[in-house]
């Protein structure tokens, strides 16, 4: 009887050890949530490719924000990340243990950031840097919905505000609605969302950024060989590449005009990484 119990205990421990080993062998593709968009489905073709080339169980984790995604990648909780530009810059400012896989091309891109107000809001259309404005943004680490607009408001218009003074509303559409309803004086949002307004006479665009580069999909150096294999398939298999791009376009409206996945030049991200390191932008 004792021998049977002892044997059962040893078998249980062996199975537990195997389960832990299997977990260590599994891979995780991470991204971040946005509104009602299904980001899980958006990155599923990429996760399927990672699974195919690695032969390892591959799961998807959708974090609540770009900053949580960045933290997870830096702390090695995930192996592949689909970030926005801000969370990539956050990652790159703190570690160099990543590889650039690919990004959607920006040819014909209209991905820019705007600062807008109600046309009837005289106080906001004629900026007074001593005034206290109600400012609305998407979230702290949104490139088009916070960071670039923050830099414009603080550096160019010399407005004195802290992130605690900003209402973070969760989506570009929510910022637009808050402007329209007079709940905020100044809103930072993606230009594309602003231009969807039917009655454009009621809104005034105060500023628009240059075209924003897309954040790259990145891979941990801990799985360097798998990263290389994924990249090779993406750039040699047009069907697989098209499936991944279609998924990304379904998850990110800014990729609408993209036609191909490309190998991004690291230099296009230098200014954003520098800003993140020096914290000259509101984060």
Domains, the chain, with CATH or none: 2-107+214-278 (3.40.190.10), 113-208 (3.40.190.10)
- Is the pLDDT at 11 greater than 80? The verdict is no
Summarised one tens digit per residue, pLDDT across range 199-228 is 878 899 999 999 999 999 999 999 999 999
Can you give the pLDDT at residue 23?
A: 40
In eight-state DSSP terms, residue 37 is: B
Can you give the pLDDT at residue 140?
A: 84
Residues 59-78 as b/e (b if ≥16 CB within 10 A, e otherwise) read ebbbbebbbbbbbbbbeeeb
Answer for the pair 26, 56: CB distance below 8 angstroms, yes or no.
yes
Q: Which of 59, 58, 60 is nearest to 40 (CA)?
A: 60
Summarised one tens digit per residue, pLDDT across range 35-64 is 899 999 999 999 999 999 999 999 999 999
Summarised one tens digit per residue, pLDDT across range 235-252 is 999 999 999 999 999 999
- Is the pLDDT at 1 greater than 60? The verdict is no
- Is the pLDDT at 131 greater than 80? The verdict is no
- Is the pLDDT at 276 greater than 70? The verdict is yes
Beta strand 80-81 with 27-32 is: parallel
Q: Which of 66, 106, 57, 102 is nearest to 87 (CA)?
A: 66
* Whole-number Å distance between alpha carbons of 215 and 131: 35
């Amino acid at each position: 009887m004792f021998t049977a119990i002892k044997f059962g205990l040893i078998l249980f421990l062996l199975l537990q050890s195997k389960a832990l080993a299997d977990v260590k062998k599994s891979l995780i593709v991470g991204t971040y949530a946005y509104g009602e968009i299904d980001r899980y489905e958006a990155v599923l073709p990429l996760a399927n490719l990672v699974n195919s080339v690695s032969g390892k169980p591959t799961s998807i984790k959708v974090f609540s924000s770009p900053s949580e995604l960045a933290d997870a990648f830096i702390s090695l909780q995930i192996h592949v990340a689909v970030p926005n530009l801000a969370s990539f810059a956050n990652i790159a400012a703190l570690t160099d243990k990543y590889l650039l896989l690919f990004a959607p091309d920006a040819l014909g891109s209209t991905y820019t950031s705007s600062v807008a107000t109600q046309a009837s809001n005289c106080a906001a259309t004629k900026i007074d840097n001593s005034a206290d404005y109600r400012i609305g943004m998407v979230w702290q680490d949104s490139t088009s919905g916070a960071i670039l607009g923050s830099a414009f408001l603080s550096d160019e218009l010399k407005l004195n505000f802290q992130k605690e003074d900003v209402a973070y509303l969760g989506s570009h559409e929510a910022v637009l609605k808050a402007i329209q309803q007079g709940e905020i004086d100044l809103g930072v949002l993606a230009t594309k969302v602003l231009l969807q307004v039917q009655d454009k006479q009621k809104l005034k665009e105060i500023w628009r950024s240059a075209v924003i580069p897309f954040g790259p999909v990145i891979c941990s150096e801990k799985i360097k060989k798998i990263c290389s294999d994924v990249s090779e398939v993406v750039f040699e298999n047009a069907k697989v590449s098209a499936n991944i791009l279609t998924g990304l376009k379904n998850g990110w409206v800014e990729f609408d005009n993209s036609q191909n996945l490309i190998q991004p030049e690291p230099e296009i991200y230098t200014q954003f990484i520098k800003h993140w390191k020096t914290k000259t932008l509101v984060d």
